[in-house]
Structure 1
């Protein structure tokens, strides 16, 4: 292998002038451009499907895990399936447009009841006002410069309460729901705490989570991208393109004609273009050793300064269905919260509530947010089962007298898995001050000949799609189109 040298000190966007100046090089690529995609998540599968559909035959996907999907993780559980990663579909998204003709989605029509640790079920009107204030805070924050979420919330929350609740008892109760409000913001920002967080996941609140998968889960999207769902001769030939359990150890770039990709198992591959869809959490830990030579400083800066948070979903199976047709969210009062944090199951204070799963009658799903997720991921099943029963009795014991203890569970440890390191990207005060965003991460690293040599895809590279499969799919299409247009 010839010695690799850094040929570009800056990341530059690919442009048509560079192509025209290197016409002979482009011609050599037209015959059989070699493309390696690192990661078989939504971005990687989207990129590969676009390339294959456009006649690219030398496409390989290297996946570190033993499955495809990335942060899409559909599992059999209970009497149906559960999605331990991506779960909901927005109607105005690219995902919806891809799957809408297959009768896979339905509208979710389940009301949510909020229970306070001391006061029981909160009145729907009170909850609506409280959530409206969160909505107002969220959108006012867009105009607040150089302030992190935690500071902003502390400064504005009491002001909103004073202005919009009339009686002193209501104001007092609203203030005692500060932890509930924090959890709403942790969910939409994707962070484990509100310190340093500047932006939000996808620029909108509340999220429109009304469309759910009927029976097949988010895995259906991947099947449609690969045309497996059609079960026809048009199925794309992916079987020989995806290489599971093939973790990439080093990407050697900068040579005029080749990128060399070396895997932990000793295998190596050569490519003209490499699309990197590695999650931001993994890039943060690995980018200094993964790329040789090192990435340009601007690219390193965005990887290190963007935030990467996590949300943990745990699904529980109950021997009997004891609940009614509603979801349940929990709001800890300040005194009860402090007491619980000193107890045996302190981590349950990070539980947002319990939610029904479509077509799975004996299953409830809980969402955990906040800084205890790593601890929860390391807990043995029995501890989680006992903790779930404890928090259900704490909040719902006065409403349901027949709550049963769950007997089994399913989860996926996103933050503890070094191939992910979490699930959601977000902007921080540091990234804002550095002037970098997901769009910076998406900038192409080109070779001396002007070829787009290292391309980056994934939800973290799409500023308007942080934390969403929609952003991941769009990014995969974007980078595939970049290669297609280059090779024309």
Structure 2
């Protein structure tokens, strides 16, 4: 068979296949959305509201929700990905909060971190003196306040930005930043626990103050509903995709287990190929894959994305934030008011540092959560769960030397970094990039559009950031498809 004939047959097949999927759809451009996480689903909803209903969502995994995902652990559903509604009770309404709290009425619990000074454990056992610990926390907060004032004086372009660590050195005169075990764990709680990367990496200007909290409020609520936080994504999808009587999405416009491997684009349209050999044709494609996936070789673009786009993708960080759940035959840790969160002050920064107990969220489950990030996440992903279990047992027995600490019966270690469909948990804005690179990261390339929490103008790394990014990116596509305003303006680097 001649190559030209083969290509023609492939294109014809793609047209027929897509036409059958879009049967009954309204008139308008055809759009393929890559990914059924909150950004992809949000973008599809916004397109549908604008009358663009001929959409096809290709999801690589077997579920909707992306990094909002529950998993059954020892008889209860826990969140292996996003867990909190962050930014509540402020001047503006976090758009996720009313969906969680009023519409879906998902069980949620206010997280109170005011008692940390009472709950910092020494590496060799026992608690730090509360008054001394509070002094360290107060000093760290004072340095953070100074950093906030400094950030407000910097050029909006980002040209004078510096790392959080540089700011700390400037304000507290510690050449290496916080260095004692208790200083390090407080520092880890304030920054790594939020941004999943250390202060030496994270941009001051784009993290202090975090727009999420200055805009939406300082309160955070932990979602612990057996329906899962992913219910938010299913709810959004149900606004424009057909559902069954049981509420499950039953729409041919959503295709699961479709791993996109190649996106070809030209001035006339796009062709998307999946790992199972399927080929789809459309007028536009909206890529909601994670930043980590874009930095990998999972999806090949033909022609290759322009250098400015590739550079913008590589300049941002895909951080790793790992929530490890462990179950015990009995409780041995303190409970009650002010005991939900506790810290382990190791001489090795970030070593099983942040702990949470679930007296209210999962009563009688005997489950603890320990959070690790960055290098520790990558290290733990590459070792066996038994090794991780042994390390956790050693830490807990060091923390509670006078207690009968039984062996872990179950452990759940998510591996976001190793998973080729995610390659991390959320993006972080590192020192050295500014609004110019962000605009390039979000900018379309011809008929290829991009969305995801990493393209959120103010809230990257958060659920509401992913949701709002889907709307924003869809609006950019709508302006081109409906209004023929296809030029996306990127200001100069120091404008």
What band does the TM-score fall into relative to the shorter chain? 0.7 to 0.9
> Equivalent of 1:375, from 375, 379, 394?
379
Equivalent residue, structure 2, for 1:189: 195
Change (3 A) 1:138 1:238: farther
Question: CA offsets, 1:26-67, max 9 Å, x none?
Answer: xxx982321111111111121223334555432111122232
Equivalent residue, structure 1, for 2:203: 198
| Distance across 2 between alignment mates of 1:146 and 1:410 | 38
Change (3 A) 1:70 1:214: closer
Question: CA offsets, 1:411-433, max 9 Å, x none?
Answer: 2201111221211212222324x
The answer on whether the counterparts of 2:70 and 2:77 sit within 8 Å (CA) in structure 1 is yes
Equivalent residue, structure 1, for 2:493: none
Change (3 A) 1:174 1:281: closer
Equivalent residue, structure 2, for 1:57: 53
Shift in Å, 1:305: 0.8
Task: Name the SS for the 2:45 alignment partner.
Answer: helix
Task: Name the SS for the 2:395 alignment partner.
Answer: helix
| Distance across 2 between alignment mates of 1:234 and 1:439 | 41
Equivalent residue, structure 1, for 2:266: 254
| 1:83-482 to 2 correspondences below 5 Å | 83-90=79-86, 91=88, 92-101=93-102, 102-108=104-110, 112=116, 113-118=119-124, 120-142=126-148, 143=150, 145-158=160-173, 175-184=180-189, 185-191=191-197, 193-199=198-204, 202-203=210-211, 208-227=219-238, 238-256=250-268, 258-286=269-297, 290-325=300-335, 326-332=339-345, 334=347, 337=348, 350-357=351-358, 358-360=361-363, 361-398=365-402, 401-432=403-434, 436-446=436-446, 453-482=447-476
Gaps of 5+ in 1: 3-28, 163-172, 339-348, 447-452
Which of the pair has the greater relative contact order for Cα pairs under 8 Å at 6+ separation? 1
| Distance across 2 between alignment mates of 1:120 and 1:280 | 41
The answer on whether the counterparts of 1:389 and 1:405 sit within 8 Å (CA) in structure 2 is yes
> Equivalent of 1:44, from 40, 61, 72?
40
Change (3 A) 1:252 1:479: same
Shift in Å, 1:484: 4.2
| Distance across 2 between alignment mates of 1:238 and 1:273 | 23
Task: Name the SS for the 2:304 alignment partner.
Answer: coil
The answer on whether the counterparts of 2:319 and 2:424 sit within 8 Å (CA) in structure 1 is yes
| Distance across 1 between alignment mates of 2:286 and 2:246 | 25
The answer on whether the counterparts of 1:120 and 1:395 sit within 8 Å (CA) in structure 2 is yes
Equivalent residue, structure 1, for 2:482: 487
Change (3 A) 1:212 1:235: closer
Q: What TM-score does the superposition give when structure 2 sets the normalisation length?
A: 0.76
Instruction: Determine which structure has the larger helix proportion and give its number.
Output: 1
| Distance across 2 between alignment mates of 1:174 and 1:305 | 28
| Distance across 2 between alignment mates of 1:237 and 1:387 | 42
| Distance across 2 between alignment mates of 1:268 and 1:139 | 53
